[in-house]
Amino acid sequence: MPRVVRSTVIDAPVAEVWRILRDFNSHRDWHPAVADSVIEDGQAPDSVGAVRRFRLTGGAVLREQLLSLSDRDFTLSYCILDAPLPLFGYVAHIRLKPVTDGNRTFWTWTSDFDCPPEREAEMVRLVAEGVYEAGFAGMAKALRRGRGPLPNPPPLRGGGDGGTLSRNAGEGWGGGMCDAIVARAYGPPDVLQWTRVAVPPPGPGEVTVRHTAIGVNFIDVYCRTGYFRLLQPPGVPGMEGVGVIDSIGPGVTGLSPGDRVGYACAPVGAYAERRTMPAELLVSLPDDIDDETAAATLLKGMTAEFLLHRVHPLAAGETAVVHAAAGGVGVLLCQWAGALGATVIGVVGSEAKARIARAQGCAHVVLTTDDVPGRVLELTGGRGADVVYDAVGRDSLARDLAMLAPCGHIVSYGQAGGHLEPLDVASLAERSARLSRPNFGHYAGTPAQVRLSSQRLFDALRRGLVRPFVGARFPLREAAQAHRRLEDRASVGATILFP
């Protein structure tokens, strides 16, 4: 069994080096071979058992698990769970010791592992030089870079303080930059450009979130075009993000670095690797809700929640028409309305989308090329639908009225096809119709509302009443392409961006 031992002397006090190293995810900030790293399942990066999943600059992905961590002895050990290398039974130990004459740190990095004999020399060299020695040099460089501007190093003890410092290390202690999509001006998708932006440190009541998944919503298109003035160019769009708390500002309670969180709300700014935002807007993610599920359902699912439970509390036996039934909110509405016992009629623009809508719980599907009101009346025995959920916009309200049952309810919650044309209110009397025009901010705008709505959503996800349906995944830098597909009606389900 080969053993690799490497050691060095770092020109910094042991507490300073340890503050960085004890964060099991910090290697992305100082190790030159690590391109990116996340702690799985939202575990704190200093909790024994935490698994880091990381990508090397060469592209290989590895998973390693923290086996022990001691703030008393400045030691930690970990093992490899998955690696595309023949390193078997790999267990590594890191130990720091103070050099008392000179305030430096002696760092030993040791590992034992098995590998095929013919590859032993290669693996030993890889671990010794590519991992350990390169890591020593990277740490020394990160510390040199960080000298000076670090005003008050966080105390050594306590939850995720190591994470706070390592973030600083990664951002060059005071740099605070990340890559983001910036809308240069109001306009077509081309205005979205990949840009380096500043991430301010969190102020009072704020946190910095490192995104792991970002939800794309039609409201992002409205922000980009200027239809909604929620974004002032140049600005970062995006209202739905999921990630891990990197650092917290003064006065933030109930959240710690390393916590998994999500949000679906203004202000915009989600299309970025990191952002600083008010803590009160965040939802803590339960362990059983993974990042992609959260990014696919937070905004769309909370929208479905208030549409089905609060705008029109849908009753079993009612008939609901869902326009854009294969869209991001549409699929969740269909699933959830079906689970509530309603008969769901989905309206879609293509046969491909019809197949999706049927699979998402629609009892019937009508194509937009058909006579939609006529088909709905036919399917309901001439009575019409009890509720129509419509985010299509333009001239759809008059058509909705034509398919509505007496005393029915039109819920108009979007205008993907264009600005709503004026409706003669007097015409509502044709069906004694009710018309609602809910605004997300009024139903999921306060912390209490978000708590209620997200809990209902998570509960529905757990019980399988709704299931995330991800139609497309894009790297964050290709956000413009994601917008094009959304506007071209080429997308189905949720679209997710990955930083």
Partner 1 sequence: MVKVYTSTVIDAPAERVWAIVRDFNGLPDWTPFCAESRIEGGEPADRIGCVRNFRLKDGAVLREKLLMLSDYDYQCSYSILESPLGVTDYLATLKLSPVTDGDRCFAEWSAEFNCAAGREGELTQLIGQGVFQGAFDTLKEKARRA
Q: Which residues bind partner 1 (CB under 8 A)?
A: 5-9, 97-102, 104, 106, 108, 133, 136
Distance CA 184, CA 314 (A): 42
Question: C-alpha angle with apex 434: 431 to 438, nearest 5 degrees?
Answer: 150
User: In angstroms, what is the minimal distance from the CB of 217 to partner 1?
Assistant: 51
Burial class (CB in 10 A: 0-12, 13-18, 19+), 268: buried
Q: For residue 226, count other CB atoms closer than 10 A to its CB.
A: 15
| Identity at 391, one-letter amino acid code | A
Q: Nearest approach, Cβ of 251 to partner 1 (angstroms)?
A: 39
Cβ burial of 369 (10 Å; 0-12, 13-18, 19+) is exposed
Q: Are 326 and 492 in contact (CB under 8 A)?
A: yes
The minimum distance between CB 139 and partner 1, in angstroms, equals: 12
At closest approach, how far in Å is the CB of 177 from partner 1? Answer: 31
Nearer to partner 1, 55 or 104 (CB): 104
- 3-state per-residue secondary structure call for 369-421: CCCHHHHHHHHCCCCCEEEEEECCCCCHHHHHHHCEEEEEEEEECCCCCCCCC
Nearer of residues 104 and 358 to partner 1, judged by Cβ: 104
Q: Nearer Cβ to partner 1, position 81 or 128?
A: 128
Q: Which residue, 7 or 232, has its beta carbon nearer to partner 1?
A: 7
Residues forming beta bridges with residue 359, ordered by sequence position: none
Nearer to partner 1, 8 or 65 (CB): 8
DSSP 224: H
Residue 4 phi, psi (nearest 5) = -115, 130
Nearer to partner 1, 101 or 118 (CB): 101
- For the CB of residue 99, give the shortest distance to partner 1 in the complex, in Å: 5
Cis peptide bond upstream of 234, omega within 30? yes
Least separation in angstroms between residue 92's CB and partner 1 is: 15
Q: Which is nearer to partner 1, 136 or 222 (CB)?
A: 136
Taking the complex as a whole, how short is the minimal distance between the CB of residue 68 and partner 1, in angstroms? 20
260: its two tokens: 């998994």
Q: Distances in Å between the alpha carbon of 458 and those of 346, 453, 455?
A: 24, 9, 5
